[in-house]
Amino acid sequence: MKHQNTDPEGRREFLKTGVVVGAGAAAAALLPGVGAAVAEAPAEQQPEKKGYQASQHVLDYYRTARI
């Protein structure tokens, strides 16, 4: 099996890109505005009701499914 020579410049560019992306992700996580917006988003949504609900859609289905 022949060993292929890898391009050291390509590996360096890959590592540089990884460092830049990682630093960008870390900076985005540390920004106060981004974290506050994410934390507030679930509070604005209506709480989901769990279980069976006889909504208008369900009642319409039952009405049309009668024999």
Map tokens 């024999």 to a residue: 67
Map tokens 């540390």 to a residue: 30
- The structure's pTM equals 0.37
Structure confidence by residue, pLDDT tens digits, 4-47: 666 777 888 888 888 888 887 787 777 766 545 555 555 556 66
Q: Are 29 and 35 in contact (CB under 8 A)?
A: yes
Taking the C-alpha atoms of residue 51 and residue 8, their distance in angstroms, rounded to an integer, is 59
